[in-house]
């Protein structure tokens, strides 16, 4: 295994670990991970002189996609922001969402928090918007 493959595997593993632990799986790491794999496969067919030039270009491109894939707020930052507005804030889980259209950098999950008197709100990790969740009423 070449050193750049090992570096790519470590980078993808690091992205997935950070995404799970800090961002509640909200970061869109599929785009940068796909670019890393495609770059590693494509670099195999280049000559030695071209590898350095294209490697630096794609490293910058992958770095930019990583920056755009990470949401603005982590779970901890969202909780701290909500604690300024509400007394009791507790992170419950992250919830998957789907949107119309296609944006490879849009978060695929939102944070669910429980606030005062068992009221629940959704926190959008990209924009910081808060959405109230209505309780289900029995029929």
What is the distance between the alpha carbons of residues 71 and 52, in angstroms, rounded to a whole number? 31
pTM (2 decimals)?
0.80
**Residue 123: helix, strand or coil by DSSP?**
strand
Question: Encoding tokens for residue 30?
Answer: 């599929």
Is 70 exceeded by the pLDDT of residue 1?
no
| Cα angle value 85/90/119 (rounded, 5°) | 70
pLDDT tens track for 28-45:
899 999 999 998 888 877
What is the distance between the alpha carbons of residues 43 and 55, in angstroms, rounded to a whole number? 8
Phi–psi pair at 31, nearest 5 degrees: -65, -55
């Amino acid at each position: 295994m070449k050193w750049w493959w090992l570096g790519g595997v470590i980078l993808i593993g690091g992205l997935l670990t950070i995404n799970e632990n800090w961002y509640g799986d909200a970061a869109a790491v599929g785009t940068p991970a796909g670019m890393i794999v495609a770059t590693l496969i494509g670099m195999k067919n280049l000559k030695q002189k071209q590898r350095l030039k294209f490697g630096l270009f794609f490293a910058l491109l992958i770095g930019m996609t990583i920056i755009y894939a990470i949401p603005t707020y982590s779970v901890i930052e969202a909780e701290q922001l909500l604690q300024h507005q509400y007394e009791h804030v507790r992170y419950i889980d992250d919830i998957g969402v789907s949107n119309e259209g296609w944006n490879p950098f849009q978060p695929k999950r939102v944070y669910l928090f429980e606030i005062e008197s068992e009221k629940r709100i959704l926190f959008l990790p990209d924009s910081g918007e808060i959405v109230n969740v209505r309780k289900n009423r029995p029929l």
